[in-house]
Chains A and B, each alone.
Chain A
Amino acid sequence: MTEELKKTITDKFEKAEFYENAIGLVCVVAPEKFREAALFCRNEPSLAFDFLNNYTAADFPPERFEVFAQMYSYENRIKLTLKTMLDRSEPRVPSLVEVWSAANWYEREMYDLFGIIFAGHPDLRRLFLPEYWIGHPLRKDYSDDRLVPKPEVLSE
């Protein structure tokens, strides 16, 4: 099953890389191919990943963010993690909202807490924190003295 799955994806995306660990099979694609790959995984009948299970990011300073989209197929009962690495200085990746509606709030959360920009997101606002908040708390270099927003911003 794993080999077939790998082949189906590499036929379409030559540069996709695979590795396996406790999370299961992980497929690494370039950021610009992220949306295309997700759409392919959902629509290709032999994959049919119709369910976005978990969609989150991790910060690896100083160079990169890693975005994980964990997919599950109710039809084929298989799972796969789609991963992409973003440049930390300008984190930008195509949005997956058109692929799965469930991605909407996950992307707003990542925008809020990591500051990753999802191009094409219909409503990219902070999810948890207020709009006047400075910084993105889940970045490893986020510091405590900025936890309190500046008063002049608050008074607006």
Chain B
Amino acid sequence: MSEGSDKLILNVGPQHPSTHGVLHFRMHLDGEVIERVDPEVGYLHRSIEKISESRWYEQIPIFCDRVDYTTAMTAVLGFCLAVETLYNKNEIKVPERAWYLRVVVTELQRIASHFLWLATFGLELGAFTVYMYAFREREKVLDLFEEIAGERITINYPEIGGFGRDMPEGWAEKALKFCRELDHHLDEIEDLLTNNPIFLARTKGIGAISGPQAIDYGLTGPNARASGIDFDLRREEPWGPYPELDFKVPVREEGDVYARYLVRIEEIRQAGKITTQALDKMPGGRIKADLPRKRWNIPTDFLQQFGIKSRIRTGIPRRLRPEPNETYFRMEGPRGEYGVFIVSRGSV
């Protein structure tokens, strides 16, 4: 703090007790007004790009869940779908049932992620009841995930080509029951917030982002839609059965905190509807495609290091080995566009 002025540099984070991986803000304050913020990121960076350089394609989904631990299912699935785009359509034929199950798990993940946002949002505004209600609902989704995948937070359920195991018996009924009750529980939360004068005073007109600003800074997902950008990748660049499902894309024009709140609340409702439809329409059959695995040609000079003279023909597992290609696959994650960029060079 320099003498005779109200200018102050305040460090916020990264050791915030409520969160695991956070960022560090260096705030330049003039009295109570924040003049400039210098964010310091990278505390949660897992170097997945570097690790992936030395792994097989099948091994990489295992740590994609760490990209964002609140949307693990979407993150893992995004990578799997990106690898599938490296192949021609007829090389990996993902069964219909797997496509529908993919929709179900990503939409449930969207609900869980939005509830986490709603809970902490409420908590920081002093609305502790909202925190309890929202966490109660999120917990139900996590219970569903635990039953289907074995994990609650860092889930490794989707695989390249489908799923390793089908959903357990009775799981679909439980998920449908959750979706049926979802609207009622959201109404409970909305009763507490949507028309609450204290809540309105603290969210309306706050942090407004205009549409052109949102595009220029690369804002996507619910945040962009709250700024009047009518764009949802589930509708514009759909994968799987999304074109056959009926859902609305909520858009608001205001771009402030309140608009973002309303967009996300409506997205939870829509996600519940999509899940119900996908579970109703889900056909039977297989859950995983046959993968076009190829023999792994180990260079002879590599083998010579171990005293092996000739090329080994047996005992080496077959692996996915896409042709040299580049791909960028993007999907609508709970927090906006989730994209995976892969450059393949014809090796494992």
Contacts and interface: CB of A to CB of B under 8 A. Distances in A.
Contacts of A137: 47, 50
Interface in A95-131: 100-102, 113, 127-129
A21 B216 CA distance: 27
Interface stretch (A5-13, A30-38, A47-55, A86-94): A47-55
Contact of A102 (B42, B217, B325): B217
Interface string A32-72: 00000000000000000011111010100000001010100
A63 B18 CA distance: 47
B53 interface: yes
Chain B interface size, as a band, is 20 to 34
B327 A22 contact: yes
Given A22-B326, A23-B326, A74-B231, A53 B337 contact: yes
A26 B42 CA distance: 30
B330 A53 contact: yes
B3 interface: no
A41 to B, nearest CB: 14
B256 to A, nearest CB: 20
Of A23, A68, A127, most buried by chain B (CB within 10 Å of CB) is A23
A138 interface: yes
Interface string B318-348: 0000000111101000000101010100000
A133 to B, nearest CB: 11
Interface of B: 41-42, 45, 47, 49-50, 53, 85-86, 215-218, 229, 231, 236, 325-328, 330, 337, 339, 341, 343
29 contacts: A21-B325, A21-B326, A21-B327, A22-B85, A22-B86, A22-B325, A23-B325, A23-B327, A26-B326, A50-B216, A51-B215, A53-B337, A54-B328, A54-B330, A58-B343, A68-B341, A74-B229, A100-B216, A101-B216, A101-B217, A101-B218, A102-B217, A102-B218, A127-B41, A128-B41, A128-B42, A138-B49, A138-B50, A140-B53
Given A23-B328, A53-B218, A138-B49, 7 more contacts: A53-B328, A53-B339, A54-B328, A54-B341, A68-B328, A113-B49, A127-B41
Interface of A: 21-24, 26, 50-54, 56, 58, 66, 68, 70, 74, 77, 81, 100-102, 113, 127-129, 137-138, 140, 142
